[in-house]
């Protein structure tokens, strides 16, 4: 899962990016954060966000960053694809991440960031009518992901595991 292609686009924490085939898009360091990819199957393009938190409305964030929150990232990704010639009926999604990295916080609702991010992404993908085709979420391990809009494969790497494809 090397990102040795010069045309691969890296998405940082609380950022989003866009690619057209043959370029790939990737993000690293997904712990409780979730990587969400929305892509257009026919146009072979994709948008990815590295989501940190479930809801913007509860953040009180003065310098608003749409990629940081699940509820606003889904809409921003769809808008990006639409602005680049995509059609909503061709959009599909895949997600990975949302680990519960700290076991001793697992019973406190507000500290269950990973599971709350996953729930929020599922909710908002459903709300915009974008099918979630596959996911690799939860657990206690971090992830690095790369999406190829040509093959429509999301590659997932974790420490001490083989690369998974969904």
Selection from 149, 85, 141 nearest residue 114 by Cα:
141
Q: Where are the alpha helices (DSSP H) in the chain?
A: 70-83, 113-127
Catalytic annotation on 24?
no
Marked catalytic residue, from 11, 19, 30, 33: 33
Between the two ends of the chain, the Cα-to-Cα distance in Å is 13
CA proximity to 51, closest of 33, 63, 75, 31: 33
Active-site residue list: 33
């Amino acid at each position: 899962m090397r990102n040795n292609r010069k045309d691969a686009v890296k998405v940082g924490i609380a950022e989003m990016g866009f690619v057209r085939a043959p370029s790939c898009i990737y993000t690293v360091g997904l712990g409780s954060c979730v990587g969400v990819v929305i892509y257009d199957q026919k146009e072979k393009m994709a948008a990815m966000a590295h989501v940190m938190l479930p809801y913007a409305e509860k953040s009180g964030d003065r310098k608003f960053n749409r990629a940081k929150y699940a509820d606003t990232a889904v809409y921003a990704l769809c808008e990006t694809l639409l602005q680049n010639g995509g059609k909503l009926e061709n959009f599909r999604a895949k997600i990975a991440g949302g680990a519960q990295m700290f076991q001793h916080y697992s019973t406190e609702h507000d500290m269950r960031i990973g599971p709350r991010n996953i729930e929020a992404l599922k909710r908002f993908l459903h709300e915009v009518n974008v099918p979630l085709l596959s996911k690799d979420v939860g657990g206690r391990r971090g992830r690095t992901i790369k999406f190829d809009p040509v093959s429509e494969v999301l590659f997932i790497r974790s420490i001490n595991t083989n690369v998974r494809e969904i």
